[in-house]
Amino acid sequence: MKISEIELISFSITATGRRTKWGYGEQGPERQVQYAITRIATDNGLEGYSEQGYPYFYSPQQDEIDNIVKPLLMGEDPLDRERLWQLMARHRGFSEGLVGNIDCTLWDLAGRMTGLSISRLLGRARNKIKAYASTAPNLGTPEDYAKHALDCKRAGYKAYKVHANIYWDPIKKEAAPGRPAFPKEDVDICRAVREAVGDDMVLMLDPWGIYTLDEAIWVGRKIEELDYYFYEHPMHERQIEPYRKLCSELKIPICGPELAPEGVFSRAEWALQRATDIGRTDINFGGITGVRKTVDMYEALGMKCEIHVGGFGNGQIMSATSEDTCEYYERGLLGLDMVDTPTPPYLKTPCDPMDEDGNVLLPDGPGLGYELDWDYIDSHRFPR
């Protein structure tokens, strides 16, 4: 069996997201954006697709498929996933996101070939996982957050994660790209949420890398008093040493790194330097193969690894990993009027349905476990 076709299926979708020139912050208007699914087919009629989960996951460009992916993968055996992963990971043209996209496509092909979910190919551990509601940033006042947290609690969530003021000045109500951060106003939000939901809801804070070390220590001590469970990615991840100091200063577990490059290899270094207490990764960092290596590395060190955002690809990894290592599913990002995640228009399958006990029911295949809506895709195609 050989890979005989690799193509990008491009189509438009209406984005309701929050893209700004700073990546995170101001609310943007609704707009049409191009999205793409990678298709890999074989000379004996098998195929796989790369729907790992919209909107967070890496979407390749046509020139990457033509100039980087095809020269390396055409004619190869698609079941040689580890060999191909090693080749891609050493190829300077492949970003970690592109490796992840292609790796997920190869896993999807193997799943469709066998009629099994990726989690069953890996060896399944469970079919559901505790969810936390993950807010969008910059939702408003502490009272706005408190009301939303209560809405989420009533919807069944047992846990809630705050993204507070990120590249946003809550006093002037305008973009504050980069710096300064607003630690006092962030703590006011955290306190209002705790007071609203009571003591029995698990709470987390994710400042998305905007604090200095001094600010991170100050906020960390405040949310320790508020009994928050973990404190995610509070500073930029280009430096390990401030994280090592932060971990030694605080009792609350630090969760990360989330965005540091080099997947399992950098995360092993952070763990050995005691620069994190709970690991973090997602399939943008090397796909199913890369995340499986990372999760197993953390497990071997006796650490948890909280998977960043949901989606079908991450869901398959969670399904194949025990709760002792991956405890929560990140459901969001939720606006003030949302307690559920929307299903993108090109899918017939909701990605992360939640039961009344606040558990996400994990996808069970075949492959990644979604059903594409070809009527939508074909009527919204982008010409090459």
Instruction: Give the interface with Mg ion as residue ranges (CB under 5 A).
Output: 206, 233, 258
Output 103 or 330, the one with its CB closest to Mg ion. 330
Residue carrying structure tokens 């006092």: 184
Structure tokens at 361: 């029911």
Q: Which has the closest alpha carbon to 219: 182, 180, 274?
A: 182
Question: In the complex with Mg ion, which residue's Cβ is closer, 130 or 233?
Answer: 233
Instruction: Name which of 258 and 352 has its Cβ closer to Mg ion.
Output: 258
In the complex, minimum distance from the CB of residue 148 to Mg ion, in angstroms, rounded to a whole number: 18
CB atoms within 10 A of CB 46: 17
Smallest gap, in angstroms, from Cβ of residue 208 to Mg ion? Answer: 6
The first and second tokens of residue 184, run together, are 């006092």
Cβ neighbours, 10 Å, residue 125:
17
Min. distance of Cβ 308 from Mg ion in angstroms?
6
Nearer to Mg ion, 309 or 351 (CB): 309
Residue 166 token pair: 């990120």
Give the ranges where the chain is alpha helix by DSSP (H).
62-64, 70-73, 81-90, 96-114, 118-122, 142-154, 183-197, 213-225, 241-249, 263-272, 287-300, 312-319, 374-379
- At which residue do the structure tokens 């969530």 appear? 157
Q: How many Å apart are CA 174 and CA 237, to the nearest integer?
A: 25
379 class by beta-carbon count within 10 Å (0-12 exposed, 13-18 middle, 19+ buried): exposed
Give the nearest distance from C-beta 163 to Mg ion in angstroms.
8
Q: Which lies closer to Mg ion via its Cβ, residue 103 or residue 237?
A: 237
- Of all residues in this chain, which one has the CB nearest to Mg ion in the complex? 206
Of 209 and 365, which CB lies nearer to Mg ion in the complex structure?
209
Looking at the DSSP assignment, which residues form a beta bridge with residue 372? Answer: 347
What is the closest distance, in whole angstroms, from the C-beta atom of residue 325 to Mg ion in the complex? 18
Q: CB of residue 134 vs Mg ion: minimum separation in angstroms?
A: 8
φ, ψ of residue 174 to 5 degrees: the values are -150, 165
The rounded distance, in Å, linking the Cα atoms of 321 and 266 is: 21
Nearer to Mg ion (CB atom), residue 96 or residue 206: 206
Q: At closest approach, how far in Å is the CB of 232 from Mg ion?
A: 5
Minimal CA–CA distance to 166: which of 253, 218, 225, 234? Answer: 234
Cβ distance to Mg ion smaller for residue 288 or 307: 307
Alpha carbon of 156 to those of 137, 205, 224, 345: distances in Å?
A: 21, 20, 25, 25
The nearest distance, CB 258 to Mg ion, in angstroms, is 5
Q: Is 13 helix (H, G, I), strand (E, B) or coil?
A: strand
Nearest CB to Mg ion, comparing residues 106 and 166: 166
Shortest Å, Cβ 333 to Mg ion: 10
